[in-house]
Amino acid sequence: MTKPARVRVAPSPTGDPHVGTAYMALFNKAMADTTGGKFVLRIEDTDRARYVADSEAQIFEALAWLSLNPDEGPEGHGGPGGPFGPYRQSERLPLYKEAADRLVKEGKAYRCFCTSDRLDTLRKIQQAEKSKFIGYDGLCRGLSKEDVAANIAAGKPHVVRLKLRQDNEIQTSDLFRGQINFIGAEQQDPVLLKTDLFPTYHLAMAVDDHAMGITHVIRAEEWIPSLPIHFELYRAFGWDAPVFAHMPLLRNKDKSKISKRKNPTSLLWYRDAGFLPEALKNFLGLMGFSLPNDQEFFSYAEFLQHFELTKVNIGGPIFDLQKLHWLNGEYIRKLSDAELEARLVEYVQHLMHREREFADLPEDQLPQETFLRDFEQKRRRWSRTLGGLAPELMTSFEVNPALLKPIMPLIRERLHTLCEAADYLPMFFTNRFEYTREMFVPKKQTPEGAVAALKAARDIITAADFNDPTLKEQLDNEFRTKAEAMGQKIGPFLGPLRVALTGSTVSPPLVESAMVLGKEETLHRVENALKFLG
């Protein structure tokens, strides 16, 4: 067993909680839990321009939904607090200022008075000249003490930049990839402290990770290019650097970094779409990691039993919603009737109380990839259906808590996501169907045959005793016998009855559904249909 690791996930509250945050949270938490360490949540709210007020609360909620709660983190929203707080960077501003000042005093950083305009122009010129080096030219490095003092006296705004070594190789390392070297001269002096006295990511990360005793920085691969900054920062401060481990980036189907346009990225979306948190977590655990013996299903506890950070596969995995869809179906099938019912009730309540359609892109911005687009369109339709059904369902449910129980076995194996219940649930709560004549006439069936079959079915149901324990077998047999007598196949024979009872050509098993509806309601629906067919 290795030493207890202190790890963290550090999202910035700039929008919907991101699936990548959950991915990092999972592996960080696993690292903490397998070493007896601590998993810290730090809110990186240093960009006041992109700050979104309720984002932090949603991050908490999303992590809680996935049971990826931090051991330490900001207080509020049920956050745990902890001995290394505050855990919001906006509440730690003096620390960064102090750290930056220290580096300036020691000559390891300097004040830069260059304007954004100058920087933009500089960059444009470099790009126009096809310069290999694109970035800050270090103009203010050479400013004398007097110049700096004069500029400050004149009230010129400034930033603090780290004086990066420009001569030799900057050696960095990554747990998975080993040593990674960068040429100092190819790096630009990064901004540490912004004009508004907020730190940039680099400064805040180094100061906080050091102050919070972080031992392993497990973060996304996109940070590798800033490794020289981070190593040089630690060196400038004279601190030991933590172990850096850069996880592969989750990808879109086209292998680019996962993005909202091409894939759902919001955890709220996954919840809205009816994915189970344990399925999503399992799926995320499959990204870049595998358990022995081809084990694909695992609880978090099982994940921990086999988790080893060094076993991570660093090839960037494509986030395949289709496989998640399958996996989620497997998880749903494992739920007991009572559990599935509870999940559905919770889910429907969630839909009912939510204030907006989360992650709702305009139609023309839906993902191009067929499966994703179809899935999102269905999701919206399902969502609307269930949303509309919700008040009625919840009321009936409160009146009769046993209501859903008999339905669960009929729909469980038909669901991949909870929202797909919209295909099967409404028929048990309403008989106002919008069917068409065509729906009553399946393939290998005629309009006359359909009416005849429906009437025959009505007679059989009328004669049936719904209290008889062998009702199902009886109805099965009688339908079959009658169909045969009428020269019809059982499928086309029952088609019209299916539409009459369920309002759809697709439904849970018919006889069982009729039994849930009861004799009176079943006959009522058949009569309605016959009336409709004239």
Could you give the residue numbers annotated as active site?
260
DSSP 70-84: -SBEEEETTEEE-TT
Instruction: Find the helix or strand (DSSP H, E) in which 183 lies.
Output: strand 178-183
CB of 145 to RNA, least distance (A): 20
Nearest to RNA of 34, 200 (CB atom): 200
Number of residues binding to RNA, judged by CB under 7 A: 90
User: Which of 216/246 has CB closer to RNA?
Assistant: 246
Residue 315 binds to RNA (criterion: CB under 7 A) = yes
Contact present, 458 and 524 (Cβ < 8 Å): no
Could you give the CA distance from residue 129 to residue 98 in angstroms, rounded to a whole number? 39
Q: Which of 17, 74, 85, 288 binds RNA (CB under 7 A)?
A: 288
Q: Which of residues 231-260 bind RNA (CB under 7 A)?
A: 248-249, 251, 254-257
Residues 99-128 that bind RNA (CB under 7 A): 114-116, 119, 123
Among 25, 276, 287, 515, binds RNA (CB under 7 A): 287
* φ, ψ (nearest 5 deg) of residue 198: -85, 145
- The residue from 90, 173, 290, 474 that contacts RNA (CB under 7 A) is 290
Q: What backbone phi and psi angles, to 5 degrees, belong to 88?
A: -105, 130
Q: Does 58 bind RNA (CB under 7 A)?
A: no
Tell me which H or E stretch contains 243.
Answer: strand 243-247
Among 339, 395, 505, 527, binds RNA (CB under 7 A): 505
35 near RNA, judged by CB under 7 A? no
188 binds RNA (CB under 7 A): yes
Residue 131 exposed, middle or buried by CB count within 10 Å (0-12, 13-18, 19+):
exposed
Q: Choose between 9 and 397: whose C-beta lies nearer to RNA.
A: 9
Question: CB of 46 within 8 A of CB of 204?
Answer: yes
Does 17 sit near RNA (CB under 7 A)?
Answer: no
Per CB under 7 A, does 336 bind RNA?
Answer: no
- Residue 479 binds to RNA (criterion: CB under 7 A): yes
Q: How far is the CB of 386 from RNA (least distance, A)?
A: 17
Please, which of residues 147-186 interact with RNA by CB under 7 A?
157, 159, 176-177, 180-183, 186
Q: Nearest distance from residue 156's CB to RNA, in Å?
A: 9
DSSP result, 254-310? TSSBP-TTTS--BHHHHHHTT--HHHHHHHHHHTT---GGG-----HHHHHHH--GG
- Give the residues across from 181 on adjacent strands: 171
Per CB under 7 A, 511 contacts RNA: yes
The residue (of 286 and 397) whose beta carbon lies closer to RNA is 286
Smallest separation (angstroms) from RNA to the CB of 398: 28
Exactly one of 46, 265, 328, 417 binds RNA (CB under 7 A); that residue is 46
The residues, any chain, with a CB within 8 Å of residue 362's CB and separated by 6 or more, are none
In whole angstroms, give the CA distance from residue 495 to residue 446.
11
Q: Report which residue type is found at 209.
A: D
Q: Please, where are the H alpha helices in 400-509?
A: 408-411, 447-463, 471-485, 490-502
Q: What is the closest distance, in whole angstroms, from the C-beta atom of residue 357 to RNA in the complex? A: 25
Do the beta carbons of residue 55 and residue 23 sit within 8 Å?
no
- Cα separation, 483 vs 493, whole angstroms: 6
**In whole angstroms, how close is the CB of 387 to RNA at the nearest point?**
22
Per CB under 7 A, 214 contacts RNA: no
Figure out which of the listed residues 95, 223, 380, 451 binds RNA, where binding follows CB under 7 A: 223
Nearer to RNA, 68 or 410 (CB): 410
Query: Which positions ≥6 away from 345 have C-beta within 8 Å?
Result: 394, 397, 404
Site for RNA contains 395 (CB under 7 A): no
Candidate residues 15, 97, 509, 521; the one interacting with RNA per rule CB under 7 A:
509
Alpha carbon 39 to its chain's center: 20
- Figure out which of the listed residues 374, 413, 438, 465 binds RNA, where binding follows CB under 7 A: 413
Residue 185 or 352 having the CB closest to RNA:
185
Say whether residue 309 binds RNA (CB under 7 A).
no
Query: Closest CB to RNA among 431 and 502?
Result: 502
Question: Which pair of tokens denotes residue 362?
Answer: 């305009």
Nearer to RNA by C-beta: 170 or 351?
170
